[in-house]
Structure 1
Amino acid sequence: MSNTNNFTNPSTFILLGIPGLETAHVWISIPFTTMFTIAVLGNFTILSVVKMEPSLHEPMYYFLCMLAVSDLVLSSSILPKTLAIFWFNSREIDFSACLTQMYFIHSFSIIESGIFVAMALDRYVAICHPLRHSTILTNHMVAKISLAVLLRGAMLVLPYPLLARQWPYCRTNIIPEPYCSHIGVVNLACSDIRVSSYYGLFVLFCMRGLDVSFIAISYSQILKAIFRLPTKDTRLKTFGTCGSHLCAILAFYIPGLFISLMSRFGQNVALHFHVLISNLYVLMPPMLNPIIYGARTKQIRNRLLRLFTQKGPKVFPCCSHSETEI
């Protein structure tokens, strides 16, 4: 399990899974597998419904499809290797594969944050400038916003593996987690990693600081517009169009804030609790987002109900209409 020999470029890292709970790995895998299954089925359902329903070919649902794809990539980057550790004790991961996993996890977390910003922009335009919504958020503009969100996530995280690859690792190659996180890898380096640490804080500020600020500003303007509406029913109906988006935002950002506070002030918290919460933070949004949007978005809910309740007419291919009358 341990490797404390001197080395500068480890060929593999060792992932411990949930340290201290190794005997319970099989039991822990049950809720993890359940969450992953719900995430995969739910997000593929969202993608299928939006594709089949022409009335959902709008900016809000295009961004929702981006969110579904991001959730699928994010959960698929973690769960297969995590379950291999839990079920088969397959703890080794190649150095390059570890850096690749790290890149996908962090880049798609930032992409997901950017998608929430884009969805907040869509809600702002739809509520504050409803007559100009179709002219502002054209398909061309949606494509530009989507490309900007993807490029931001891809470029911001690119220095993570590039910097991690150049550090010497001379103490150990054991990572006390079931996946390769940025801080989990660079903490194993035996040189000055302040560049990686400072850059990680910069990326964190860009994602949680700027994105949350933009979302807060958008919703402050949305609330002002809603309170200016003449009747209570109109205000509730308009605010209801933002309900699913707000629930998804809370499910994404609040656990992240809790983990940040716990990492800063929870030195006395057991390591296995830290690791479990970190894993749930990555796995919960991909599972909850399709449930939230499926349950709270009327158009998606109605389309799903039609899919499951629609019954086609009975057809008798061997008989013509005149034959059935006889």
Structure 2
Amino acid sequence: MPERNYSVLTEFILTGFPGLHQEYYGLVSAVLFFVYLITMIANVTVIFLFATNRSLHKPMYYIILNLSVCDILFSTTTLPKIISRYWFQSGSISFTACFIQMYFVHYLGTVNSYILFQMALDRYLAICHPLRYSRVLTKSNILILSITAWIAAKTFNLMLVIRAYPLPYCASNIITHCFCDHIGITVLACTERAPYSIPAFAGAMVTLLGPLAFIIFSYCSIIIAVYKIANVQGRLKSLSTCSTQLIIISLYYLPRCFVYLASNVGITFSADVRIVIIMLYSLAPPMINPLIYCLRAKDMRDSLLKHICGRTIPRKAQVAAISNS
């Protein structure tokens, strides 16, 4: 079949969770709305703390700022539509809008992977090469790395859309997923998928495994460097400084690697289980990440407490000072 646009579809239908009974639609939409609300509040709080506290203007927090922006955009790209699917029984999405959503899903996922690479680089230099840290990871260098991450992610994902959009979609318009992605859309094309799926899979593996390879290397180096420290307290302090990033990286990569590995070794899941796993690793990290920063990162925690009870603490300090004098 010639590869030109035989598309007769004007919209796609997102099924969400295929086996979900209608009586649970309200509960699912409420849970998804709650996830979206917490994600927005938590990440906006991180951005607000960064903007109002100059003590957070450090390389690590510039990286966290980028991650929060990326998480807000990703959640806004994916969640409102699937919430309306269950809240208003509106699962349809226009043909063009579906491809726009597909682009941002893959683009923001790629940016997220590059940002996690920067996190690993930050901890690697801080622990393994502390004397070089301040010279290498300056604010200007972090800015360059961040801009590069947002720009470099565009090319490959734009090509995905450009190659997939003109395919002949002349059969079913039902996407068995909660949002539009490359696989969900291209399986509906009335043409051979291999010329499109193989390059897409290879690109996804480079995007995923490239940063992951450095992340594994960096944390192995960190563990080796930490165990060379004679002082046990020094070891614990060094490990504590990278535990936050390690938790975030684990939340992002481990479920993804499990899904890719399972599909390649012949482990099969039902559509519902597969979608639940994908939704968990897509939507849980954006909601949990800011909570981890505020609980684990001392500067972020102190800044949050200062804004919550900033007027109370100085008064207590004044009373203590008067009583001591």
TM-score by length of 1: 0.90
2:136 partner amino acid: I
- What is the aligned partner in structure 2 of residue 149 from structure 1? 149
- What is the aligned partner in structure 1 of residue 228 from structure 2? 228
Instruction: Name the stretch that deviates more: 67-76 or 195-204.
Output: 195-204
Per-residue deviation at 1:259? 2.4
For 1:112-131, what aligned pairs fall within 5 Å after superposition? 112-131=112-131
Per-residue deviation at 1:207? 2.2
Per-residue deviation at 1:155? 1.4
- Per-residue displacement from partner, 1:136-180 (whole Å, max 9, x unpaired)? 112221121112211222112111111111210121111122211
- What is the aligned partner in structure 2 of residue 13 from structure 1? 12
In 1, are the aligned partners of 2:43 and 2:72 still within 8 Å (CA)?
Answer: yes
In 2, are the aligned partners of 1:13 and 1:174 still within 8 Å (CA)?
Answer: yes
Does residue 173 (structure 1) correspond to residue 173 (structure 2)? The answer is yes
TM-score by length of 2: 0.90
For 1:189-228, what aligned pairs fall within 5 Å after superposition? 189-228=189-228
Any gaps of 5 or more consecutive residues in structure 1? 1-6, 315-326
What SS does the corresponding residue of 1:230 show, helix, strand or coil?
coil
In 1, are the aligned partners of 2:29 and 2:84 still within 8 Å (CA)?
Answer: no
In 1, are the aligned partners of 2:244 and 2:297 still within 8 Å (CA)?
Answer: yes
Matched-pair identity in %: 35
Count of residues in Structure 1 that have an aligned counterpart in Structure 2: 308
Q: For the residues of structure 2 that align with 1:257 and 1:51, how far apart are their CA atoms?
A: 35
- What is the aligned partner in structure 1 of residue 73 from structure 2? 73
Does residue 100 (structure 1) correspond to residue 103 (structure 2)? The answer is no
In 2, are the aligned partners of 1:111 and 1:150 still within 8 Å (CA)?
Answer: yes
- Per-residue displacement from partner, 1:43-83 (whole Å, max 9, x unpaired)? 11111111212111011100000000000011110111001
Per-residue deviation at 1:263? 3.8
2:65 partner amino acid: C
Instruction: Name the stretch that deviates more: 304-313 or 122-131.
Output: 304-313
Per-residue deviation at 1:22? 4.3
When residues 179 and 206 of structure 1 are mapped into structure 2, their CA distance, relative to the original with a 3 A threshold, is same
Runs of 4 or more consecutive aligned structure 1 residues displaced over 6 Å after TM superposition: none
Any gaps of 5 or more consecutive residues in structure 2? 1-5, 316-325
Per-residue deviation at 1:260? 2.1
What SS does the corresponding residue of 2:165 show, helix, strand or coil?
helix
Q: For the residues of structure 2 that align with 1:172 and 1:50, how far apart are their CA atoms?
A: 47
For 1:153-164, what aligned pairs fall within 5 Å after superposition? 153-164=153-164
Per-residue deviation at 1:9? 4.0
1:13 partner amino acid: F
- Per-residue displacement from partner, 1:212-253 (whole Å, max 9, x unpaired)? 101011112222222222301011101100010000001111
Per-residue deviation at 1:275? 1.7
In 1, are the aligned partners of 2:113 and 2:211 still within 8 Å (CA)?
Answer: yes
Does residue 37 (structure 1) correspond to residue 32 (structure 2)? The answer is no
Instruction: Name the stretch that deviates more: 27-36 or 188-197.
Output: 27-36
- What is the aligned partner in structure 2 of residue 324 from structure 1? none
Per-residue deviation at 1:106? 0.8
For 1:229-308, what aligned pairs fall within 5 Å after superposition? 229-264=229-264, 265-267=266-268, 269-308=269-308
What SS does the corresponding residue of 1:170 show, helix, strand or coil?
coil
Q: For the residues of structure 1 that align with 2:80 and 2:92, how far apart are their CA atoms?
A: 13
- What is the aligned partner in structure 1 of residue 318 from structure 2? none
